[in-house]
Structure 1
Amino acid sequence: MQVLKDRPTEALRIADLLGLANGVTDRISLADQVAHGLPADSARRVHDRLGAARFFRILPEATYRRVRRHGKPLTRETSEKLYEFARVYELALRLYRGDHERCMAFLEAPHPMLGGRAALDLATSSSAGADAVIDLLHRAEAGFAA
């Protein structure tokens, strides 16, 4: 099976969302970037895409303001939370064929297959939560979940 060079990989799509397109070439370089702390600009890019009310469900407003003010890389914990959101958002957006509002409607609504929790809240609670949402999205893509 040949990989198409003009189709970006999941890692590159996530990197683009986080504003890392120039420094990330694959999953390994993305993992290194997250481990060392995403740049403050990554938070700004996600904030600008989602709007304040949605973004502050992912990161506290005080954290965002501090990061913007000092311009230093995000902590590892904050970077991982933003990365987990980006993983879920990227997949959901792809499944919703680029329709940001429909994607966010899914992410914000409580879902019975997620224990009645919103995918956004579960995905940003832990990597295991993000994995649960991604599993649900893959099942929906395959036609096994609603």
Structure 2
Amino acid sequence: MEKGIKLRFAENFLKQYESLFAHSTARPAVSRSTILRAKKNHKARLSTETSERLYSLIKLMAHVNEVYGMDGAKVERFLQTPHALLEGRPPIDVALNTTAGADRVLDLINRGRAGVYA
């Protein structure tokens, strides 16, 4: 993470989940303008700070896909459905707000897998 995530990887990741992120009321982990600015400045990588925000989302999406067997419909349903343990907010909104939010959603998933719901 010290060098930052490669710009091409970030673009591909964001494009893959573009429709899911578009339905969120939260700001994206990395904005389109950040990507365009990096391209304009001929940068090959995102800044360390931006990379850390994006990495937490990448980690979350990998975990959610693993839990739901790469079933896109189930992944989207989980991430877009308001959850009581997240104050009635959809997990994707919580995850996009901060890295701590993404960690909170990861914890929710892990607790569910372990059978601990409270």
Bucket of the pairwise TM-score, normalised by the shorter protein? 0.7 to 0.9
Task: Pick closer, same or farther for the CA change 1:71–1:105 going to 2, 3 Å.
Answer: farther
Q: Which amino acid aligns with 2:84?
A: P
Q: Give the deviation of 1:103 after TM superposition.
A: 0.8
Q: Give the deviation of 1:53 after TM superposition.
A: 6.4
2:71 to 81, 99, 115: 99
Task: Pick closer, same or farther for the CA change 1:107–1:49 going to 2, 3 Å.
Answer: same
Any gaps of 5 or more consecutive residues in structure 2? none
In the comparison of the two structures, how many residue pairs are matched?
Answer: 113
Mapped contact 1:124–1:130 kept (Cα < 8 A): yes
Q: Is the deviation greater in 112-121 or in 87-96?
A: 112-121
Q: Give the deviation of 1:52 after TM superposition.
A: 5.7
Higher relative contact order (CA 8 A, sep 6+): 2
1:46 pairs with 2:17:
no
Q: Give the deviation of 1:67 after TM superposition.
A: 2.7
1:122 pairs with 2:94:
yes
Mapped contact 1:57–1:121 kept (Cα < 8 A): no
Which secondary structure does the structure 2 equivalent of 1:122 belong to?
helix
Q: Which amino acid aligns with 2:34?
A: T
1:89: which partner in 2?
61
Identity %: 30
TM-score normalised to structure 1 length? 0.66
